[in-house]
Amino acid sequence: MSGSRAARLAVLRDQVAALEAGTRTPSLVQPFGDPRVDDCLPGGGLPLGRWHEIVAEGMETEVGAAAAGFGAMLARPLAATGAVIWVMRRDDLYAPGLESLGFPARKLIQVRVRDEAQALMALEDALGSAGVAAVLGETGDVDLTAGRRLQLACEKHGATGLILRRRPFGGAARKAATGSAAATRWRVSSAASHPPPGEPGLGPPRWSVALERCRGGRPGAWIFEWNEEADHGPHPLRMVPGLAGDELAAAERVRRRA
């Protein structure tokens, strides 16, 4: 079965499931602006009105900086259409740092919770609230039941959820669930930054990103960097040119995990 036919069948299955559940299926997507990425995603972009899972590796599963930065870049274009809520277990989110990446901190609402159960409750309430464009939430795990509840909340007003898998410091590592209600699962780590030719110092932030699961799409792996030229435009991330070797290595890691 061709990839395009499989994607169409997956969309039809989602629409039938939505009709049976009495909910609506959003048809909007948010393109990355690069066909090498958008062709891997159903409809040519990140599905909106759904929730997505962002997973880190190593110490990043506790620190959460790489996943938070990538999630903020996905949410940045959505901030133009409504509020962005960030649900967190720790108060280490640095809003001025997001502002330096073009994220409008004035549109950000931070919610501090005590534990995992309260985090999931806050995520569900935020996603189901009118006027909310995106919700980012730091949580250790989302089982199938909680995932379905999050999806139903997304469909109330079309909000998009970005779940950042983050465990407490010193907590036991958890393997990502094999079954999930998430539309996509991304694995993110930091990548080495390089300044422009002839300029000293550091270059734009970079992320090594693997799309591990995508309902109606296919996996892929890329190196992204902050697109400072886009300012507040719709494509805050761009592919790093000339890093085919890194892209192939990341794709090989995805293949081995599969």
Q: pLDDT tens digits, residue range 80-99? A: 999 999 999 888 898 898 99
Residue labelled with tokens 């409008």: 104
Band the pLDDT of 4: cuts 50, 70, 90. Answer: very low
Separation of alpha carbons 104 and 108, rounded Å: 7
Q: Is the pLDDT of residue 229 over 90?
A: no
- Return the pLDDT at 240: 87
186 closest CA partner among 42, 62, 33, 70? 70
Give the lowest-confidence range in 26-40, 94-108, 234-248.
234-248
**Overall average pLDDT of the 104-133 stretch:** 94
Per-residue 3-state assignment (H helix, E strand, C coil) for 31-94: CCCCHHHHCCCCCCCEECCCEEEEEECCCHHHHCHHHHHHHHHHHHHHHHCCEEEEEECCCCCC
Residue 94 sits in a domain whose CATH number is 3.40.50.300
Average pLDDT, the chain: 82
Q: State the total domains in the chain.
A: 1
% of the chain residues with pLDDT over 70: 78
SS3 for 139-168 is ECCCCHHHHHHHHHHHHHHCCEEEEEECCC
Model confidence at 228, pLDDT cuts 50, 70, 90, reads confident
CA dist., res. 193 & res. 117, Å (int): 37
Report the alpha-carbon distance of residue 191 to residue 225 in Å, rounded.
9
CA angle (203, 209, 211) in 5-degree steps: 160
Number of H helices and number of E strands within the chain? 8, 11
Summarize pLDDT for 183-205 with one digit per residue, the tens: 999 999 999 888 777 777 788 89
**What are the backbone dihedrals phi and psi of residue 140, each rounded to the nearest 5 degrees, phi first?**
-80, -35
Residue 110 lies in domain: 3-257
Q: How far apart are CA 6 and CA 41, in angstroms?
A: 12
